[in-house]
Homo-oligomer: A and B are copies of this chain.
Amino acid sequence: MPPPLHVTFRAGSTGIWEIDGICNVVGDTLPNASRLEIIETATLLHSDDSDWVLRGVTSNPRYTSRQELDRLAANQEGLGRPLATRAALIPIRKSAAWWALAQDERRAILEEQSHHIAIGLEYLPAVSRRLHHSRELGEQFDFLTWFEYPPEYASSFETMVSRLRDTAEWRYVDREVDIRLSR
């Protein structure tokens, strides 16, 4: 388990990732931009050049059991694979009702009812991902998930995202933006 890593997603005119499209799934969208830069430091870089900036921090898994963690570790790939030239950045915010739930209630909705972890496991190792927490940083979203996959898995990725949005857990999502990228 690596220590928390601070990650800044800066949209503007620089960065190796080209933004192909930005859609609002629920609630307000984000402004259009041409490229995305991902900066892995503790410091937020300010720049006149940026259209928007989202910040998050990696952390320990909050719901995953030992059995699930072992299955994930055995199957998942890291970021930066040369063939994974498609990406998605999906910022979400969950409702006050979600945050008022106890740990056992959130776990039951996330996994026993919605199979969030199990669904993600089905798309390994093609889709790699990293979750960033933003809620405690005073950001506009609660989570930023970054996904990378090879172009031939694009339709599988759409299916995965659709299945997740169709779950009981997603009824607690009150803002979601879907940013697609390629390099």
Partner-B contacts on A (CB < 8 A):
1, 4, 6, 42, 57, 59-66, 68-69, 96, 99-105, 107, 133, 135-138
- Tell whether, in the assembled complex, residue B133 and residue A102 are in contact, meaning their CB atoms are under 8 Å apart: no
Known: A1-B96, A59-B136, A62-B103. 7 other contacts (CB 8 A): A4-B135, A4-B136, A4-B138, A62-B62, A64-B103, A66-B105, A133-B136
State in angstroms the CA–CA spacing of A100 and B60 once bound together: 8
A10 to chain B, nearest CB (A): 19
- Specify how many copies of this chain sit in the oligomer: 2
- Tell whether, in the assembled complex, residue A103 and residue B138 are in contact, meaning their CB atoms are under 8 Å apart: no
Q: Given A1-B96, A4-B138, A62-B62, A69–B133 Cβ distance below 8 Å?
A: no
State in angstroms the CA–CA spacing of A128 and B65 once bound together: 31
- Tell whether, in the assembled complex, residue B103 and residue A107 are in contact, meaning their CB atoms are under 8 Å apart: yes
- Tell whether, in the assembled complex, residue A99 and residue B136 are in contact, meaning their CB atoms are under 8 Å apart: no
Q: Given A133-B136, A136-B136, A138-B42, A61–B4 Cβ distance below 8 Å?
A: no
Chain B residues lying within 8 Å of A64, measured Cβ to Cβ, are 102-103
- Tell whether, in the assembled complex, residue B102 and residue A66 are in contact, meaning their CB atoms are under 8 Å apart: yes
A68 to chain B, nearest CB (A): 7
Q: Given A103-B61, A103-B63, A6–B138 Cβ distance below 8 Å?
A: yes
Q: Given A59-B136, A99-B60, A135-B59, A65–B4 Cβ distance below 8 Å?
A: no
A97 to chain B, nearest CB (A): 9
- Tell whether, in the assembled complex, residue A104 and residue B65 are in contact, meaning their CB atoms are under 8 Å apart: yes
Chain B residues lying within 8 Å of A135, measured Cβ to Cβ, are 4, 59
26 example contacts (A-B, Cβ-Cβ < 8 A) are as follows A1-B99, A1-B100, A4-B136, A4-B138, A42-B138, A57-B136, A59-B135, A59-B136, A60-B99, A61-B102, A61-B103, A62-B62, A62-B103, A63-B103, A64-B102, A64-B103, A65-B102, A65-B103, A65-B104, A66-B104, A66-B105, A68-B102, A69-B102, A103-B107, A133-B136, A136-B137
